[in-house]
Amino acid sequence: MTAYYLGIDIGSRTSKGVVTGDGRLLACHVLPSGVNYRAAAEKLREALLGKIGLSVSDIAATVATGQGAGNVPFPNEPVTDIRCCARGINGVFPAARTIIDVQAQSSQVIRLNGSGLVTGFVVSEKCAAGSGRFMEVIANVLQVELKDIGPLSLKSKNPVAFSTGCAVFGESEAVSRVAEGSAVEDILAGVHQALADKISALVDRVGMETDCALSGGGGLDTGLIRAVEAKLGVRMLVPPQPQIITALGAAIMAEETRGGH
Amino acid sequence: MATGLNRVAEIYADRAARVTELKAGGKRIIGYLDIFPVVEMLTALDLVPYRLLGDLNEPITRADAYLPTVVCPFLRSVMDLGLKGKYDFLDGVVFAHGCEVSEKMAHIWRTYLHPPYAHFIDTPHTTHQAARKQHRELLKDFQKTLEEMTGQELTAEKLREAVNIHNRQRVLVRELYDLRKPDPPLISGAETVRVMVAVASLPVTEGNELLEQVIGEIKGRKDGPAPKPARLIVWGSIIDNTALVDLVESLGANVVMDDTTVGSRDYFPLVEITDDPRDGLADRYLVALRSPRTFRETVPDGNRRKDYMADLESRFGYLKDYAREWQVNGVILQVLRYCDIHGYEVPALKDYLESIGLPGIYLEHDYSKVALAQLRTRVQAFLEIIG
């Protein structure tokens, strides 16, 4: 009989869930975290189980991670997102030794070994510089859909220079560039470069070893991926669903430890 | 009156309670900042040294008008408390050139808070012969202003007596720290912070009595800390409250040692008794105190270039000894935001820890409980790695 494992990643912006069985990814789901992490976790589990026709009792173990892990109302083993992210990437790209994880409110660079164990890490400081939230703020100013940011920015011939990676100052700076008549794609490309600068400063602090992977919601933004690749001079391995990697790692850890129930 | 750890809890909750009582009884209370003012000279003249500390729970509101916001938040907190009148009971203040910001703050304090007595010791920043000589001269100046204020002569005999009492305190602190060596430690890191803050808030003789009580109580109790997989040393900027250590200890670690200034860094070095006691004092405060604010001559290699590893050994070798004696398996390098003297030290210290195979994590925080909570994941991940 197949045993099923649940990985739940309650992020500050979105919540991600994964169900695995026999070492395979069977279902995943993403929804906004909203202001009630408990409700988000419940809804996530319900949606996941619904997708593959399972009930709560079919889940052998659950690992919860992310900022809201402490709010997950059903039995689980809490594990830090740093460790889960490393295991998740290791499951997809076993050769990865460095991960750039671009989340909504912060970014982190994680070093890992061939077994997916964390050997070092560095997290951006508490402001949202170098994180996905910065892109959201800019997209809002420019009235661009988030999904269009990447493709649009790649059309830029003349990226504007952004002096800040700060989400608050960045907004007013974007407004100024708009007022000066800069093209939307040039502003977006400039923002990507500013983010890549911030990320490369983090990479410098913990050191880089290839292969290098990029995970988190930032991995959905092709413009950001290209900017980071240009800045670091290496190709990024990006999983097909980069935002669920940490939840996937959580499910893998649940399967390994079977300690959740 | 409460004794031992209960007394510690009382003083930790209301630091000034005891010294304001003493003041009502006619004693004079002198505030001092950081670890460089030579407090023996105060004790010798029957003045009560009282360490200036910040308050993590008091939002900084007034100090921003006097100090830039991009400087050490601990010092901004101390200044803020001064501006809010929380240190009005003091009969004077002594500052030293601990770091650049504390030096500037000394003058700002004197200008705007008008303390009845104020003295600034321009502590040299190197341990060269000339600097040591200069420090001796500076202590003579300090003595002169104290004698003027009190109308008493500071004799060598009085000073020697004060040195002995303060050395006794240092020996007691070592005894207390020895109780952290077993596994599990007999006293938690957070309890130790409270004891040290209490001791820094009392006249030295009362601090000694309190330490004796605490040591006796700890040795006899059965409900000490539980064993935990990680035994950590906390290195870095001042820690004058339990918030950070509480956070770390709540995540499955015992903080068993520190290298901070309300801790081993201030209390471990003793004063050598010299013919002129001021000589021993001058050397203890300039040379024996191991703070990154004091430059020590680099160790050259055969070509007279800096031998980096030998230099690291000479700067941080004592941490290896601490790690061995206290059976430490991880280091928290914690630095207050904008604390330059510790910030500059971090890359070299990381290299050193790597060279001796001791894992470390660097945490920057800004002297607020909210900011500390954000470090939780990092500490957890670090403990997972070393566990």
CB of A6 closer than 8 Å to CB of A45: yes
Identify from A117, A126, A205, A253 which residue to disrupt to test chain B contact, counting B C-beta atoms within 10 A and taking the largest count.
Answer: A126
- Segments forming the whole domain that contains residue A215: 94-238
Tell me the three state secondary structure of residue A222: helix
CB of B262 closer than 8 Å to CB of B238: yes
CATH number at residue A66: 3.30.420.40
Q: Where are the beta strands (DSSP E) in A68-227?
A: 77-78, 98-102, 107-112, 118-123, 212-215
pLDDT band at A260 (very low <50, low <70, confident <90, very high): very low
Cα separation, A154 vs B116, in Å, equals: 67
Q: Do B381 and A118 touch (CB under 8 A)?
A: yes
CATH of domain B228-386: 3.40.50.11900
Q: Which of B94-103, B117-126, B365-374 is predicted with the least confidence, judged by mean pLDDT?
A: B365-374
Residue B199: pLDDT above 80?
yes
Put simply, whether A115 touches B (Cβ < 8 Å) is no
What is the DSSP annotation of A181-208?
Answer: T--HHHHHHHHHHHHHHHHHHHHHHH--
Cα separation, B66 vs B109, in Å, equals: 9
| φ, ψ for residue B154, nearest 5 deg | -90, 90
Q: Is residue A86 in some structural domain?
A: no
pLDDT band at A165 (very low <50, low <70, confident <90, very high): low
CB of A111 closer than 8 Å to CB of A82: no
CB of B238 closer than 8 Å to CB of B206: no
Please choose, from the candidates B182, B12, B34, the residue with its C-alpha nearest in 3D space to the C-alpha of residue B97: B34
Identify from A9, A10, A82, A246 which residue to disrupt to test chain B contact, counting B C-beta atoms within 10 A and taking the largest count.
Answer: A82
The whole-number pLDDT of residue A135 equals: 84
Work out how many domains chain A is built from and give that number. Answer: 2
Cα separation, B351 vs B332, in Å, equals: 14
Instruction: Judge if A167 and A72 occupy the same domain.
Output: no
The whole-number pLDDT of residue B162 equals: 98
Compute the mean pLDDT over every residue in chain A, rounded to the nearest whole number.
90
Cα separation, A141 vs B120, in Å, equals: 53
For A58-106, the pLDDT digits (tens) are 999 999 999 899 999 998 899 999 999 999 999 999 999 999 999 888 8
Pairing of strands A107-112, A118-123: antiparallel
Give me the amino acid identity at B81.
L
For A222-245, the pLDDT digits (tens) are 999 999 999 999 999 999 999 999
β-partners of residue B360 are B331
Q: Do B364 and A125 touch (CB under 8 A)?
A: yes
> Which of B364, B371, B384 lies at the smallest CB-CB distance from A83?
B384
Instruction: Judge if A111 and A232 occupy the same domain.
Output: yes
Tokens encoding A19: 């169900």
Q: Do B378 and A123 touch (CB under 8 A)?
A: yes
pLDDT band at A261 (very low <50, low <70, confident <90, very high): very low
Mean pLDDT of B145-149: 98
What is the DSSP annotation of A33-73?
Answer: -TT-HHHHHHHHHHHHHHHHT--GGGEEEEEEESTTGGG--
Q: Which of A33-42, B106-115, B371-380 is predicted with the least confidence, judged by mean pLDDT?
A: B371-380
Q: Is residue A87 in some structural domain?
A: no
Residue A136: pLDDT above 80?
yes
**A-chain residues near B251 (CB < 8 A):** none
β-partners of residue A15 are A10, A31
Put simply, whether B377 touches A (Cβ < 8 Å) is yes
Residue B387: pLDDT above 90?
no
Burial B308-340 (b: 16+ CB within 10 A, else e): eeebbeebbeebbebbeebebbbbbbbbbbbbe
For B217-243, the pLDDT digits (tens) are 999 999 999 999 999 999 999 999 999
Identify from B377, B379, B383, B386 which residue to disrupt to test chain A contact, counting A C-beta atoms within 10 A and taking the largest count.
Answer: B377
Cβ within 8 Å of B, A 55-74: 67
For chain B, the structural domain boundaries read: 228-386
The pLDDT > 70 percentage for chain A reads: 95
The whole-number pLDDT of residue A174 equals: 83
Tell me the three state secondary structure of residue B22: helix
**A-chain residues near B371 (CB < 8 A):** 126
pLDDT band at B269 (very low <50, low <70, confident <90, very high): very high
Tokens encoding B383: 């403990």
Cα separation, A130 vs A139, in Å, equals: 15
Identify from A80, A81, A87, A122 which residue to disrupt to test chain B contact, counting B C-beta atoms within 10 A and taking the largest count.
Answer: A80
Tokens encoding B39: 């407090």
pLDDT band at B67 (very low <50, low <70, confident <90, very high): very high
Instruction: Judge if A112 and A230 occupy the same domain.
Output: yes
Cα separation, B174 vs B178, in Å, equals: 6
Instruction: Judge if A155 and A74 occupy the same domain.
Output: no
Q: Between B140 and A133, whose confidence is greater? A: B140
Instruction: Judge if A193 and A255 occupy the same domain.
Output: no
Q: Do B384 and A121 touch (CB under 8 A)?
A: no
Put simply, whether B384 touches A (Cβ < 8 Å) is yes
Residue A259: pLDDT above 50?
no
Put simply, whether B3 touches A (Cβ < 8 Å) is no
Instruction: Judge if A172 and A226 occupy the same domain.
Output: yes
pLDDT band at A164 (very low <50, low <70, confident <90, very high): low
**B-chain residues near A82 (CB < 8 A):** 377-378, 381, 384
Calculate the CA dihedral of residues B78, B80, B84, B85 and round it to 10 degrees. 30
Instruction: Judge if A179 and A259 occupy the same domain.
Output: no
The whole-number pLDDT of residue A127 equals: 61
Q: Do B380 and A80 touch (CB under 8 A)?
A: yes
Cα separation, A211 vs A142, in Å, equals: 34
pLDDT band at A55 (very low <50, low <70, confident <90, very high): very high
pLDDT band at B122 (very low <50, low <70, confident <90, very high): very high
**A-chain residues near B364 (CB < 8 A):** 125
| Chain centroid, CA A130 distance in Å | 12
Residue A114: pLDDT above 80?
yes
**B-chain residues near A127 (CB < 8 A):** none
CB of A116 closer than 8 Å to CB of A152: no
Put simply, whether A87 touches B (Cβ < 8 Å) is no
Instruction: Judge if A98 and A227 occupy the same domain.
Output: yes
Cα separation, B165 vs A82, in Å, equals: 50
Nearest CA in chain A to B370: A126
> Which of B364, B371, B377 lies at the smallest CB-CB distance from A82?
B377
**A-chain residues near B385 (CB < 8 A):** 117-120
The whole-number pLDDT of residue A169 equals: 74
Compute the mean pLDDT over every residue in chain B, rounded to the nearest whole number.
96
Cα separation, B291 vs B264, in Å, equals: 11
- The sheet that has B253-259: what strands, in order across it? B253-259, B230-236, B330-336, B360-365
Put simply, whether A46 touches B (Cβ < 8 Å) is no
Cα separation, A119 vs B167, in Å, equals: 43
The whole-number pLDDT of residue B235 equals: 98
Q: Is residue A85 in some structural domain?
A: no
The pLDDT > 70 percentage for chain B reads: 100
Cβ within 8 Å of A, B 317-376: 364, 371, 374
Mean pLDDT of B277-294: 96
Residue B136: pLDDT above 90?
yes
Characterise B4 by phi-psi region: left (phi > 0), alpha (psi -120 to 50), beta (else). Answer: left
